[in-house]
């Protein structure tokens, strides 16, 4: 397990690390084109240890493209990508993982019929005994998975149950605990709350906060400004492949964030159209200024 990282090499410019924390990850004017489709352009993003960086944006805004660059699935075609202050260009997700960058995808690469503990170690199984009779160390894997999940406050009745029988929220939590156990320094979560109800979303947000408190730099991709605002330290809003807003928590309220996401003017136009259709109570739609930022909505454990 890695603590708060200070990295081993490279130097960081003063202006990129005002709080003294060396950024784990930095994108500078980064972009990506697929052939002649420009999916991302001129994006700046910084990820610090013990901070949650939220990336918001509508469908097709470029969120997945952005995390694919960071997680080694795609390469940027413009700008710079630095890890621990060093320019990098990953050819495979393995290279990103070796730098401590773990990604939890929305569809979660789990095998639904395999037990929870087996999924926890999928691809990195513990073994015992000498070659050529090495075999899986099942007891140690079960014990470790149980300990690690409990450490994160995740209590499951039975680790033998197929992971497919867990709720979506629980599966996300297992994936977060797994990334923490395998030494992630940067945890990327692609829309972990998108398919979840209110309560389960709350549970996942709690583990995002817990990963942050353990010193990880978290990149939280979401459509939902409310979820982002509950745990976020920094907010980056993508729109049509460029960064429309990049602001620290102190610089932006929930209301403004929501407006950026909804596209204030577009929402007003939609409201106008709906009013003409009839049958929709447009009074129920939010007005600008209706949305109150929650007071100190940061989850427990944060100063």
Ligand X SMILES: Nc1ncnc2c1ncn2[C@@H]1O[C@H](COP(=O)(O)OP(=O)(O)OP(=O)(O)O)[C@@H](O)[C@H]1O
List contacts with ligand X (CB under 6 A).
34, 37, 39, 57, 59-65
Partner from ligand X, Mg ion, none binding residue 231, C-beta < 5-8 Å depending on class: none
Nearest residue (CB) to Mg ion, 64 versus 103:
64
* Residue the block writes with tokens 């745990």: 231
Nearest residue (CB) to ligand X, 143 versus 239:
239
Nearest residue (CB) to ligand X, 69 versus 154:
69
Nearest residue (CB) to Mg ion, 84 versus 190:
190
Q: Which of 63, 72, 76 is nearest to 106 (CA)?
A: 63
Q: Which of 255, 190, 246 is nearest to 42 (CA)?
A: 246
Residue 247: its H or E element: strand 242-248
**Distance of closest approach, residue 65 Cβ to Mg ion, in angstroms:** 8
Partner from Mg ion, ligand X, none binding residue 262, C-beta < 5-8 Å depending on class: none
CA 297-193-96 angle, 5° bins: 100
Where on the phi/psi map is residue 50: left (φ > 0), alpha (ψ -120 to 50), or beta?
left
Residue nearest to Mg ion (CB): 64
Nearest residue (CB) to Mg ion, 61 versus 291:
61
What is the footprint of Mg ion within residues 258-287 (CB under 5 A)? none
Nearest residue (CB) to Mg ion, 64 versus 258:
64
Partner from ligand X, Mg ion, none binding residue 65, C-beta < 5-8 Å depending on class: ligand X
Q: How far apart are CA 251 and CA 245, in angstroms?
A: 11
What is the footprint of Mg ion within residues 41-100 (CB under 5 A)? 63-64
* 7: number of Cβ within 10 Å: 18
**Distance of closest approach, residue 191 Cβ to Mg ion, in angstroms:** 7
**Distance of closest approach, residue 90 Cβ to ligand X, in angstroms:** 17
Nearest residue (CB) to ligand X, 37 versus 277:
37
β-sheet bridge partners, residue 27? 45, 81
Phi, psi values for residue 291, rounded to 5° = -85, 120
**Distance of closest approach, residue 174 Cβ to ligand X, in angstroms:** 23
Q: How far apart are CA 214 and CA 266, in angstroms?
A: 40
**Distance of closest approach, residue 188 Cβ to Mg ion, in angstroms:** 12
Under 8 Å CB-to-CB from 266, ≥6 apart: which residues? none
**Distance of closest approach, residue 240 Cβ to ligand X, in angstroms:** 8
Q: How far apart are CA 270 and CA 55, in angstroms?
A: 24
How far is C-alpha 218 from the geometric centre of its chain's CA atoms?
Answer: 6
**Distance of closest approach, residue 239 Cβ to Mg ion, in angstroms:** 14
CB 65 within 8 A of CB 91: no
Where along the sequence are the contacts to Mg ion (CB under 5 A)?
63-64
């Amino acid at each position: 397990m890695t603590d708060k990282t200070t990295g081993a090499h490279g130097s960081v410019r003063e202006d990129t690390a005002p709080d003294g924390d060396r950024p784990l990850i930095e994108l500078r004017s980064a972009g990506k084109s697929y052939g002649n489709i420009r999916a991302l352009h001129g994006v700046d993003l910084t990820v610090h240890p013990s901070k949650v960086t939220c990336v918001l944006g509508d469908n097709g805004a470029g969120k997945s493209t952005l995390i694919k660059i960071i997680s080694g699935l795609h390469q940027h075609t413009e700008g710079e990508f630095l890890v621990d202050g060093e320019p990098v260009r990953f050819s495979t997700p393995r290279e990103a993982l070796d730098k401590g960058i773990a990604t939890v995808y929305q569809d979660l690469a789990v095998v639904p019929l395999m037990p929870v503990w087996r999924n926890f170690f999928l691809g990195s199984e513990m073994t015992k005994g000498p070659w050529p009779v090495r075999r899986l160390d099942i007891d140690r894997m079960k014990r470790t998975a149980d300990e690690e999940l409990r450490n994160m406050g995740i209590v499951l009745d039975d680790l033998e149950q197929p992971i497919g029988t867990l709720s979506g929220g629980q599966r996300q939590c297992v994936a977060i605990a797994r990334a923490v156990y395998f030494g992630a320094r940067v945890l990327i979560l692609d829309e972990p709350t998108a398919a979840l109800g209110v309560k389960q979303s709350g549970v996942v947000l709690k583990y995002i906060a817990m990963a942050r408190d353990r010193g990880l730099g978290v990149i939280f991709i979401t459509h939902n400004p409310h979820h982002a605002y509950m745990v976020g330290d920094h907010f980056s809003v993508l729109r049509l492949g460029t960064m429309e807003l990049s602001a620290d928590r102190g610089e932006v309220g929930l209301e403004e964030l929501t407006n950026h996401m909804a596209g204030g003017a577009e929402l007003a136009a939609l409201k106008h159209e709906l009013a003409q259709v009839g049958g929709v109570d447009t009074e129920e739609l939010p007005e600008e200024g209706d949305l109150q930022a929650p007071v100190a909505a940061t989850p427990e454990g944060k100063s």
